[in-house]
Amino acid sequence: MKSSPWERSYKIKVVGDSAIAIFLGNKIDEEINDVVLTVAKKIEEKNIKGITEVVPTYCSVYIYYDPLKADYRQVLNELHEIVKSTKVKGKIKTRTIKIPVAYGGEFGPDLEFVAQYHNMSIEDVIEIHSKPTYRVYMLGFTPGFAYMGGLDKRIATPRLKTPRKRVPAGSVGIAGEQTGIYPIESPGGWRLIGRTPLKLFNPKRDPPTLLLPGDRVKFIPIDHEEFYKILEEEGK
């Protein structure tokens, strides 16, 4: 059996008395994240007694367990088995989620700044931002917030010096070399360039988030009229 290049480098560690982490790499990398998501799915499917939650991140999988229901040494053994037997063949299956975004104006109060900062037109920023397909590595920070990779460095822009007290839900922003969407209203220091009318977090849906790890995201520029039309449909 041929072993994958990462196989020799994984590490499993107990974290506190109710969690175990599997570290599968040490950088933000699509291939490592593919392994993370594959391993996480396998663990969930195995329904190991006492495991309460599996949380995939950039390059690790966290497993929460109930020490009253499971012996951690046994869980560790099972996890080793799973990691060792996991083969990732090519790219993992993904969905592409189209996210309509109304750029600029009241929805993107920092769009002009971003354009000026890079000496380009507003249209250029929109074009550069909506052209790539982004990858969702993980969810965290707030419900439904997707850590995405793939922003074109030409529009990378530093955060605001003073964060806004209230950023509306759906706001699309840039912070350094990251781009992201605020799923719920919260304080925040990202440069806001637009807003999507889609609900990224809805506790009444299952799953409660629009985006899932491994998803590809494509931003579709829309005008402000269309924004309100979709917003109304989302509210239904």
Partner 1 sequence: MIEILDPGIFSTIQDLGRWGYQKYGVSVSGVMDEVSARLANMLVGNDENAAVIEFYMKGPKIKFHTVTYFVVGGDVIIRLNNKEITPWTRYKARTGDVLTMEFLRSGAYGYIAFSGGIYIEPILGSRSTYLRAKIGKKLETGDKIPIGTDYKIPIVESLPESLRPKYSNQVEVRVILGPNEDHFTENGIKTFLSSWYTLTSESDRMGYRLEGPKIEHSKLGPDIITDAVPLGSIQVPGNGLPIIMLADRQTTGGYAKIGVVIRVDIPKVAQLRPGGKIKFKQVSVDEAHELLLKRERILSLIKKMIYGKAIYTKIKVKKKDFKIFVEEIKD
Backbone angles phi, psi at 164, to 5 degrees: -70, 145
- 145 near partner 1 (CB under 8 A): yes
- Taking residues 72 to 111 in sequence order and writing x for each that binds partner 1 by CB under 8 A, - otherwise, the string is x---------------------------------------
- 16 near partner 1 (CB under 8 A): yes
Query: Tokens representing 35?
Result: 């392994």
Nearest approach in angstroms of CB 202 to partner 1 is 10
- Taking residues 39 to 78 in sequence order and writing x for each that binds partner 1 by CB under 8 A, - otherwise, the string is -x-----------xxxxxxxxx-x-x--xx---x------
Strand partners, 209: 201
Question: With respect to partner 1, which residue has the nearer C-beta, 104 or 180?
Answer: 180
Number of residues that bind partner 1 (CB under 8 A): 46
Distance CA 72, CA 183 (A): 35
- 113 near partner 1 (CB under 8 A): no
- 179 near partner 1 (CB under 8 A): no
- 220 near partner 1 (CB under 8 A): no
Question: With respect to partner 1, which residue has the nearer C-beta, 34 or 115?
Answer: 34
Question: With respect to partner 1, which residue has the nearer C-beta, 138 or 172?
Answer: 138
Distance CA 126, CA 174 (A): 12
- 17 near partner 1 (CB under 8 A): yes
Distance CA 192, CA 130 (A): 14
Spacing of C-alpha 236 from chain mean position: 26
Kindly list the residues in this chain that would bind partner 1 in the complex (CB under 8 A).
13-19, 21, 26-28, 40, 52-60, 62, 64, 67-68, 72, 138-145, 147, 183-186, 201, 203-204, 207-209, 213
